[in-house]
Amino acid sequence: MRQPGAERRPNPESACRKETFMRGRIPISPSTRPFAVLGHPVSHSLSPLMHNANFNALGMDAVYLAFDVQPRHLLETLRAMWRMGFGGVNITVPLKQTAYAGIRHLDVSARRMGAVNTVAFAA
């Protein structure tokens, strides 16, 4: 809480990070861990904005992306993301049942629901 009459001074470093983030310019490096949301369509998703804000706030070297994936390409996309080192992905409608049908190792909640919401890639 600020003292009455106290001046609020902007933090130039914080302002620069915020401006970079808000313009969609998220710094990445060879060690940045990618995560994603997959859907069709997916352009309306707020997941990248929310997850990247959290990664930034926590100082994590990670980036969250959105990919529009046709259902017929989902399984090959998941295999490619695993090979590229993605940490995991979230799946939106209409891809949830396609993921369920094509993923070998399902947890109890996915089996009960008959759909997949999240895929965590094991190293």
Please state, in angstroms and as integers, the Cα–Cα distance from residue 79 to each residue in 14, 82, 83, 121, following that order.
Answer: 37, 5, 6, 10
Q: Which of 39, 51, 52, 96 is catalytic?
A: 96
pLDDT in tens, 34-63: 999 999 999 999 999 999 999 999 999 999
CA 18 to CA 52: how far, in whole Å?
11
Among 40, 38, 113, CA closest to 78: 38
Is 96 considered catalytic here? yes
Domain edges within the chain: 12-120
The whole-model pTM stands at 0.78
Alpha-carbon distance of 2 to 69, in angstroms, equals 48
Average pLDDT value over all residues in the chain? 86
Residue 90 bridge partners (DSSP):
37, 118
**In CATH, what class is 12-120?**
alpha beta
